[in-house]
Amino acid sequence: MRKYVIMGVQGSGKGTQADLLAVDLDLVQISVGDMFRWHVKNHTKIGAQVRRVMAAGELVPDDLVESLVRQRLEQHDWNFGFIVDGFPRNARQAEFFLESYDIDGVIQLDLPDEEVRRRILARRLCSKCGMDYNLIADRPTVPDRCDVCGGELVSREDDTEEALAARLKDYHEKTNPLLDLFRRKEFVFAVDARADKATVQQEIRAKLNLPPYQGEES
Ligand code: AMP
């Protein structure tokens, strides 16, 4: 059983790296941001509560986040473990999480703010299937169309200069200090996220003592 948390500023590749680990190691990937986006897209009650907060790049109230994470983990479908992305983001969430679960490792993806800005403003998402693209490193074959389902590519509502500034501020003020809390338990593995995704994945595996990454199947 492996239980990991992946942390890093927006655009550092948390989702991508978590996905590569999850697929290979049979881990359940839990992305709090994805769960909220699902609620917004499907017009649920939770979606209505969080939509504006998310669009402004602000953090959703802790109670709501914690109950969502708790409910998700209580499904106990994670026989081989899980990797949580986008959580915890502040001291209260970290306390709740550490009290409830034994974590094997925190992966910290490091990326300078200028690179975050460059990546985030180039990020696109398929409006139909949710596949991620990046106009710098991961362009679609046909402009503005998803390679997988042909859906239209759009920007995330919170990938604007303004919302990004709010998210970066929150990250530096609230999320980064958590690393000190985790470091006291000696399980933070810092990885330079400037490299391409395969190199970053390889480094994560080396640090976590996991079998090497074999690349994506074509
Ligand atoms: P992400 O996809 O991780 O960038 O998350 C998108 C948005 O969802 C954030 O800007 C927040 O509004 C909300 N969100 C995701 N995770 C959390 C969290 N742990 N605590 C509070 N809000 C969150």
In the block, which residue shows the tokens 């006291």? Answer: 184
Query: CA-to-CA distance for 23 and 2, rounded, in angstroms?
Result: 13
**Pocket test residue of 7, 17, 29, 32 for ligand 1, highest count of atoms within 8 A of CB:** 32
Average pLDDT over residues 11-37: 93
Is the confidence at residue 216, as pLDDT, over 80?
Answer: no
Q: How far is CA 53 from the centre of its chain?
A: 18
Query: CA-to-CA distance for 153 and 124, rounded, in angstroms?
Result: 6
Is the confidence at residue 61, as pLDDT, over 90?
Answer: yes
**Residue 167 Cα to ligand 1 middle (Å):** 9
For the CA of 50, the nearest atom of ligand 1: 12
The residue whose CA has the least distance to atom 14 of ligand 1 is 33
- Say if residues 145 and 153 touch (Cβ distance below 8 Å): yes
Q: What is the structure's pLDDT at 83? A: 96
Return the CATH number of the domain spanning residue range 2-111+188-207: 3.40.50.300
Model pTM score: 0.85
**Residue 198 Cα to ligand 1 middle (Å):** 25
Q: What is the structure's pLDDT at 97? A: 87
Chain segment 128-137, per-residue pLDDT in tens: 998 989 898 8
Chain segment 159-173, per-residue pLDDT in tens: 999 999 999 999 999
Report residue 120 as tokens: 């985030």
- Parallel/antiparallel/unpaired status of strands 123-126 and 153-154: antiparallel
Is the confidence at residue 47, as pLDDT, over 90?
Answer: yes
Q: What is the mean pLDDT of the chain?
A: 91
| Of 72, 119, 124, 167, catalytic | 167
Is the confidence at residue 43, as pLDDT, over 70?
Answer: yes
Query: CA-to-CA distance for 120 and 135, rounded, in angstroms?
Result: 10
- Residue ranges per structural domain of the chain: 2-111+188-207
Is the confidence at residue 185, as pLDDT, over 80?
Answer: no
Q: What is the structure's pLDDT at 189? A: 94
Q: What is the structure's pLDDT at 38? A: 92
Is 123 an active-site residue? yes
Q: Greater confidence, 49 or 185?
A: 49
**SS3 state of residue 31:** strand
Q: What is the structure's pLDDT at 217? A: 60
Q: What is the structure's pLDDT at 10? A: 86
Model confidence at 57, pLDDT cuts 50, 70, 90, reads confident
**Residue 61 Cα to ligand 1 middle (Å):** 10
**88 carries a ligand binding annotation:** yes
Percentage of residues in the chain having pLDDT higher than 90: 72
The residue whose CA has the least distance to atom 19 of ligand 1 is 87
Q: How far is CA 205 from CA 8, 51, 184, 199, in A?
A: 17, 35, 22, 10
φ, ψ of residue 81 in degrees (nearest 5)? 125, -170
- Give residues (CB < 6 A) around ligand 1: 10, 32-33, 36, 53-54, 57-60, 65, 86-87, 89, 93, 158, 167
**189 carries a ligand binding annotation:** no
Is 89 an active-site residue? yes
Is the confidence at residue 76, as pLDDT, over 90?
Answer: no
Is the confidence at residue 124, as pLDDT, over 90?
Answer: yes
**Residue 32 Cα to ligand 1 middle (Å):** 6
